[in-house]
Amino acid sequence: MQRKFTRAIFPGTFDPLTNGHLDVIERGRKLFDEFIIAVGTSPIKNPLFKPQERVEMIAEIVKDMPRVSVESFDGLMVEYAIKKQADVILRGMRSLTDVQYEFKLAMTNRAVAGLETVFVMTSAEYGFTSSTLIREVAALGGDISNLVPKIVYDRLKKP
């Protein structure tokens, strides 16, 4: 029996992309035939970088990863996933705190669009990181160089 082609979407705001996100990307991309990093906008978040800036940074970071692409989207992620004919949504989980939220989100995505969700636990060294925390520490002048890719670090240091 031949294996079915599988297209996965890894959605998020990625504002900014962290090493935890990159860890999930590195491991998740090996599980699927095509892997789309979907950079979304959130009307309730106060973004540090514009969506196009995030897409450009992430595209530079993943440029040598076969079968990985980066796109931005507006609106509901499930509508974007349907438009892209995605088979699965990949979500990273850091800790037990994420489980309840992610479980509800996965159940909603299945109920609304029939989309399955695959969870990848981030590596232990990144279990505490979040984009929000990174933005706060960076804004206060803290050293986040070991928590984000170099291109992100350099952009965060620009005045």
Q: Which residues are catalytic?
A: 21, 45, 94, 131
Q: How far is CA 24 from the centre of its chain?
A: 8
What is the C-alpha to C-alpha distance for residues 137 and 155, in angstroms, rounded to an integer? 14
What is the C-alpha to C-alpha distance for residues 33 and 43, in angstroms, rounded to an integer? 32
What is the C-alpha to C-alpha distance for residues 112 and 108, in angstroms, rounded to an integer? 6
Helix (H, G, I), strand (E, B) or coil at 90: strand
Question: Are 18 and 148 contacting, i.e. CB atoms less than 8 angstroms apart?
Answer: yes
Question: Are 140 and 128 contacting, i.e. CB atoms less than 8 angstroms apart?
Answer: no
